[in-house]
Structure 1
Amino acid sequence: MSVSHRLSRTDADRLHVALMLALTFSTGVVDAVGYLGLDRVFTGNMTGNVVLLGMALTGTTTLPILRPLLALGFFLVGAVASSRIVKRDDGWSGRVTVTLWLIAGLLTAIAAVLAFALHLDPEVFGTIATSALGFAMGMQAALARRVKVADVTTVVVTSTLAGLAADSRLAGGTGALWVRRALAVALISAGAAAGALALLVHVSLGVLVSAAITVVVASLGHTGHRARAATRAA
């Protein structure tokens, strides 16, 4: 096996960071579609859903209840399903690749529903779409925990922001990991902007973009995993 087909541990770690950051961007896209295009539902950021549900359940607002509740429930189910598939492997593995392909397939199916069926019954198919998106994002979040890229959960940046501030030199820290933390925050915001712009074309476009990103992440991750395995075997 030539050197060009091998991957060092450092290179593999950098690749995993880049891939998880790409999924963070993808989450921003999906959340913009859910919140702006599908009745104020977060499908990746469950903190937002829990807060919205708390306000909605008071009956003093016009915030939706059913779709955020279903998205939250399906997110949990997706996280369980992904954990069962990936199991307890740390880092990248063939199971991680398979799970990402499943997520990409599910996102593609959701995009198809939004493109061709949403107009038939917006209430029914909108609820199906947000529930399925919650399931897909739950799978992604659990998978990210197995890959274990510090401070890049792919679905939320609250703890990332806290770490960025608390470990900064201004707070007396070393400023470690500030680049990836800043990128995670910037990319989920950029993804949300991209998702909002995609809605100007069609509600399905953002989900299709997220599916394409997931395909690229799965392919690059699998290639890197094989190259890393070749390095260990050499």
Structure 2
Amino acid sequence: MRIAVVVLVAASGAVEALSFTALDHVFAGVMTSNLALLGMAAGQARGAGVTAALLALGGFGAGTAAGAWVTRGGEEDEERWSAPVLSCLVGEAVLLAVGAGVWAASGGAPGGVTRDVLQCGAAAAMGGQCAAMVAAGRAAAPTTYLTGTLATYIVRAPGGTSARSGPWVPVRLAALIAGAAAAVALHRAVPAWAGALPPVLVTAAVLTAAVP
């Protein structure tokens, strides 16, 4: 499960990088930052910035609610992810794959309504992933927002030995950086195919988690 979590973190990094650099300059999964961006846009009377932040917030909320519905009733297992959790992640991969197709059709430079739809969809995918990880309980860990993970690691690292504060935390942090770097590099090299990276990574995570 730990490897699957690392791969999901890399997928999150890729989505965040593409969301911020190629869509509406907001984040797909970090709602704390989007709330701050919303406030700044409102303070500067930038209608486009307000719309982008609201799309991300709305998409994330919808994705989280849908993920909670899909995973409702799933039994927690400290060793494996339940079928509802895996189903939620499969749904995320499908949503990201559809977005990748739209991205490719736009040549890697979506604009106007297409860009807004992709922004909302990316945030919904991250919301679904968050819901899946919450439902997975102790068999998972945060994959879209790692500020708390980093703070916990710094506080507990000197004497901590748990999975959440142990050696896997730096691996997850590195995966976030690697995913973002790979997405940006891919976008620069072949813009139309950059959107394919996140669904490929989420699919790889699901396949990894499904292995007995």
Deviation at 1:35, TM superposition (A): 0.4
* 1:80 alignment partner in structure 2: 65
Query: Residues 164-191 of structure 1: CA distance to partner in whole angstroms, max 9, x if unpaired?
Result: 111022xxx3354321111121111111
Over 3 Å counting, the alpha-carbon distance change for 1:121 and 1:206 in structure 2 is closer
Over 3 Å counting, the alpha-carbon distance change for 1:220 and 1:206 in structure 2 is same
Q: Is the 8 A contact 2:108 2:192 kept in 1?
A: no
Over 3 Å counting, the alpha-carbon distance change for 1:140 and 1:56 in structure 2 is same
* Mapped pair 1:47 → 2:32: yes
Q: What letter corresponds to residue 26 of structure 1 in structure 2?
A: A
* Mapped pair 1:24 → 2:9: yes
Q: Determine the C-alpha separation between the residues in 2 that align with 1:214 and 1:132.
A: 15
Q: What letter corresponds to residue 23 of structure 1 in structure 2?
A: L
Deviation at 1:220, TM superposition (A): 2.4
* 2:97 alignment partner in structure 1: 108
* Mapped pair 1:161 → 2:147: no
* 1:139 alignment partner in structure 2: 128
**CA RMSD of superposed structures (Å):** 2.3
Deviation at 1:145, TM superposition (A): 1.0
* 2:113 alignment partner in structure 1: 124
Query: Residues 144-202 of structure 1: CA distance to partner in whole angstroms, max 9, x if unpaired?
Result: 11122478311011001111111022xxx335432111112111111111111121034
Q: What letter corresponds to residue 34 of structure 2 in structure 1?
A: N
Structure with higher Rg: it is 1
Q: Is the 8 A contact 1:26 1:213 kept in 2?
A: yes
| Pairing 1:57-96 to 2, within 5 Å after superposition | 57-59=42-44, 64-89=49-74, 90-91=76-77, 92-96=81-85
* 1:190 counterpart (171, 178, 192): 178
- What runs of 5+ residues in structure 1 fail to find an aligned partner? 1-15, 225-234
Query: Residues 71-107 of structure 1: CA distance to partner in whole angstroms, max 9, x if unpaired?
Result: 1111011111011111142241112222222111111
Q: Is the 8 A contact 1:20 1:149 kept in 2?
A: no
* 1:148 alignment partner in structure 2: 137
